[in-house]
Structure 1
Amino acid sequence: MTGALAPSKPLTAVDRCDRCGAQAYVRAVLAGGNDLLFCAHHGRKFSGALRSTGADIHDETNRLIETPATAPNDER
């Protein structure tokens, strides 16, 4: 074992922000292995402080601006 963190699974619509309950787009993996989930807003708010404590931040907020590959015809 190298001590490196295993890649985490992508966040889904079921994953909720630990702060407000909105859909989570940011996962903070703490040094002890536990994780915290945050919406985009709370992820931005807390990621700096979490990084300074050694947390590994997985940010998927780029998914908020992606266009689905199967957009309805009236959205193309």
Structure 2
Amino acid sequence: MTGTLTRPELTAADRCDRCGAAAKLRAVLKSGGELLFCGHHGREFEQGLRDSEAEIQQDER
């Protein structure tokens, strides 16, 4: 059986790792971990995430 692992869509239960607001952006790190950010913190940290080669998988801002 082959398949691709996908992460679930963001829901109202997903919260920003920085402030606890509703998550609007999911970033997957090279190590496989993930970070969730609200729109505000997503904008604040987006360039740093891209510089560290994190993959922005969902952006609902």
Normalised by the length of structure 2, the TM-score is 0.85
Segments of structure 2 that go 5 or more residues without pairing to the other structure are none
Say which SS state the counterpart of residue 46 (structure 1) adopts.
helix
Say which SS state the counterpart of residue 44 (structure 2) adopts.
helix
Runs of 4+, deviation exceeding 4 Å: none
Segments of structure 1 that go 5 or more residues without pairing to the other structure are 62-76
Deviation (angstroms), 1:6: 4.0
Identity across the alignment (%): 56
Q: Which amino acid aligns with 1:60?
A: E
How many residues are matched? Answer: 57
Distance of 1:28 and 1:35 partners within structure 2: 6
Higher relative contact order (CA 8 A, sep 6+): 2
Q: Which amino acid aligns with 2:60?
A: E
* Higher Cα radius of gyration: 1
The structure where strand makes up a greater share of residues is 2
Distance of 1:55 and 1:23 partners within structure 2: 20
Q: CA RMSD in A?
A: 1.4
The structure where helix makes up a greater share of residues is 1
Superimposed CA distance per residue, residues 15-49 of structure 1 (whole angstroms, 9 cap, x where no aligned partner): 00000000000011000100000000000110111
CA 27–12 in structure 1, closer or farther in 2 if over 3 Å, else same? same
Normalised by the length of structure 1, the TM-score is 0.69
